[in-house]
Chain A
Amino acid sequence: DTGVSQDPRHKITKRGQNVTFRCDPISEHNRLYWYRQTLGQGPEFLTYFQNEAQLEKSRLLSDRFSAERPKGSFSTLEIQRTEQGDSAMYLCASSSDIHYEQYFGPGTRLTVT
């Protein structure tokens, strides 16, 4: 399978705990995006990487959120001190420099209890 992959697919955590998600983009894509989707809503943009550089961050990305893409390949999204409002589907997408279509992974569903 050469699509975008995400791990884990589902995470249940207690309020106040830290969680980390991983995204592996399509191999030839050097642009990587994180989105968040809550029930009944479309995905909302969080942040964007071109290679290893984080070039854009949404105001939705509070100080408790941090994203990295250390070698320009996979990316991680960490949420510190989780809150119940963080419960959502976290989606990763990737695209190339030539064709800007964004292809999404299966998502990580986070439940904060």
Chain B
Amino acid sequence: QKEVEQDPGPLSVPEGAIVSLNCTYSNSAFQYFMWYRQYSRKGPELLMYTYSSGNKEDGRFTAQVDKSSKYISLFIRDSQPSDSATYLCAMQAGTALIFGKGTTLSVSS
């Protein structure tokens, strides 16, 4: 079992839909949880950074962490075609970030 599991998709939604992206993990030492967005052939862009359990909201994005279930989510409201990208979850206990494989999202207009 990999430390971080993420469904690679692809996930296709119409413009304006609410998108839910998820990751599960096995290492209970993870304390920091991140979501990155990566466009094709570009570097990952940090979207959300959370510490421990709870919710964090930033504009159309909401990150949720449930440490008891070892489950994190990213919700995107009012999705736009420009949100079409690969979304990577990442987790951290020490120095290195441990990434999921990424979920490819396509938002059609």
Instruction: Tell me if B25 counts as interface (CB < 8 A to partner A).
Output: no
List of A residues within 8 angstroms of B96 by Cβ: 33, 45, 48, 56, 58
A: interface residue count bin: 20 to 34
Q: Measured between alpha carbons, how far is A6 from B44 in the docked complex, in Å?
A: 13
Return the CB mask of B57-95 against A: 1 if under 8 Å, else 0: 000000000000000000000000000000010101001
Q: Measured between alpha carbons, how far is A101 from B58 in the docked complex, in Å?
A: 16
Instruction: Tell me if A72 counts as interface (CB < 8 A to partner B).
Output: no
- CB of A93, distance to nearest CB on chain B (Å): 8
Contact B44 A43 (CB under 8 A): yes
Contact A109 B41 (CB under 8 A): yes
Within 8 A of B (CB), among A1-26: 4, 6
**Contact (A40, B100) CB under 8 Å given A104-B43, A106-B43:** no
Instruction: Tell me if A41 counts as interface (CB < 8 A to partner B).
Output: yes
**Contact (A42, B102) CB under 8 Å given A56-B96, A100-B92:** yes
List of B residues within 8 angstroms of A89 by Cβ: 41
B: interface residue count bin: 20 to 34
List of A residues within 8 angstroms of B32 by Cβ: 100
Closest A residue to B32 by beta carbon equals A100
- CB of B105, distance to nearest CB on chain A (Å): 15
Q: Measured between alpha carbons, how far is A100 from B42 in the docked complex, in Å?
A: 22
Q: Measured between alpha carbons, how far is A33 from B90 in the docked complex, in Å?
A: 15
Contact A40 B101 (CB under 8 A): yes
Closest B residue to A108 by beta carbon equals B43
Contact A103 B42 (CB under 8 A): no
Q: Measured between alpha carbons, how far is A44 from B4 in the docked complex, in Å?
A: 12
List of A residues within 8 angstroms of B99 by Cβ: 42-44
Q: Measured between alpha carbons, how far is A63 from B62 in the docked complex, in Å?
A: 42
Within 8 A of B (CB), among A71-98: 89, 91, 93
Could you give 17 example pairs across A and B, Cβ below 8 Å? Answer: A4-B43, A40-B101, A41-B102, A42-B101, A43-B44, A43-B88, A45-B95, A58-B96, A89-B41, A91-B43, A100-B32, A101-B46, A101-B49, A102-B46, A102-B97, A103-B46, A104-B44
